[in-house]
Structure 1
Amino acid sequence: MQGRLDFSEELAELVIFMSEVAISIRMYTPYNRCLAISEEEKNRHILWLADSIHAFADLAEAIKSGNTKAISETADGIVKLYEKYTVIGERRAGDPMRTFHNEPDLPNHERSNRWVLDDGIALMEKIKAKAHLHSVITL
Structure 2
Amino acid sequence: MSDQTKHLAGILIFTGQVATAIRMYTAYNQSGSDLEEFAPEDVMFLSDTLISFEFMGEYLAAGNVSKVISYCDSIAQSLKTYIGKPAFVRNPTVNLQAAINHLAALKSTFTGL
Corresponding position of 1:44: 41
Whether the 8 Å CA contact 1:17–1:120 is kept in 2: the answer is yes
CA separation of 1:100 and 1:52: change in aligned 2, threshold 3 A: farther
Cα gap change, 1:100 to 1:37, in 2 (>3 Å): closer
1:125 equivalent to 2:101? Answer: no
Unaligned runs of 5+ in 1: 89-94, 103-114
Match of 1:27 in 2: 24
Instruction: Give the TM-score normalised by the residue count of structure 1.
Output: 0.66
- Taking only aligned residues, the RMSD between alpha carbons, in angstroms, comes to 2.5
Aligned to 2:69: 72
Identity of aligned residues (%): 23
1:24 deviates by 1.2
Residue by residue over 1:32-61, the C-alpha shift from the partner in whole angstroms, topping out at 9 and shown as x without a partner, is 53532453x221111111111111111112
Number of aligned residue pairs:
111
Q: TM-score, normalization: structure 2?
A: 0.78
Rg larger for? 1
Bigger fraction of residues in helix? 2
Q: Is the 8 A contact 1:24 1:99 kept in 2?
A: no
Partners in 2 of 1:99 and 1:82 — Cα distance?
Answer: 16
Q: Which runs of 4+ in 1 moved over 6 A?
A: none
